[in-house]
Amino acid sequence: MKYGFIGLGQMGSPMAINLSRSHDVVVYDRNHDVVEHLSKQGAKPANGPDGFLDVDVLILSLPSADIVKQALFDHQNGIAKHLKQGAIVIDTSTIEYAATLEIHSQLDAMGIQFMDAPVSGMQTRAEDGTLTMMVGGDADVLVQVEEALSTMASNILHMGDVGSGQLTKLINQLLFDINAAALAEILPMAIKLGIDAEKVGDVVNSGTGCSYASKFFIPHILNGHFDNGYPMQSAYKDLISGAEISARYNIPTPVLAAATTTYQQALLEGHGEKDKGAMILVYERLLDVAFRTSSKKVAPS
């Protein structure tokens, strides 16, 4: 089978590299430098939509639903109208559930199969090919592409019908967001009360307060580094989706709402380009403290 890959960002680039090591892959991204880099790794660059005429499977890794729709359905440069009948589109982007269903409906009308397959694991696991992939769609279609997907993800879970992959990813992301917001609120309190930041970090990450968020963010926060994860501004769509689902299905989510408030405050204070660990800057400013190692004691910014 021949594969196409669109979207060579922080996650898409290593995923496409891993796929191209054992499969015929055509790639495209607006960043010509990254396309050139992928071409040196074994992938073939596509000059435009015509470069995907003979692909059997098109994989997307893009930052938003609007960009996914544009890549597929743009009147002039949309890829979908260039795909052959029966081709499979796999969207590994993290986008809204409703948008996923809409994309599926449009592709189905064109005779193109679709699966949503968002991933979890951050860039290091994308590079290692050990991502977790949550798939929504026809199980028989998954069987056809599972070997190729296994070059990118070591844990591939079929969650159900189209859209269930995005819903599962959303559940995971919202829990991660809540954990990150909790760290932002509680860790500065320890410093305000005179407790050593490094020792608190050791206790949390070796005790019952430990989470993936604490293990990932605390070492970076201690060193004042806030550029090691997905930017908050780009990830905010998860919280929007959570609020929409809460409202639509009348599901109370008070803890999520509180975490969202912290997230929003960080965005309003201009931290959108930083990772989620930067939510702590909000509470550091409020309490006039800094959760840093002794060599990194700086004023919150």
The alpha carbon dihedral of 154, 128, 164, 252 has a sign of positive
Q: Which of 55, 28, 61 minimizes the C-alpha distance to 44?
A: 28
Rounded to whole angstroms, what are the CA distances from 175 to 2, 179, 199, 201?
A: 37, 6, 25, 20
- Measured between alpha carbons, how far is 258 from 275 in angstroms, rounded to an integer? 19
In angstroms, how far apart are the furthest CA atoms of the chain?
Answer: 66
Cβ–Cβ under 8 Å, residues 229 and 277: yes
So which residues are the catalytic ones? 169
Q: Which helix (H) or strand (E) holds 119?
A: strand 119-120
Give, in degrees to the nearest 5, the angle at Cα 153 between 50 and 27: 15
Residue in the block written with tokens 């979207």? 7
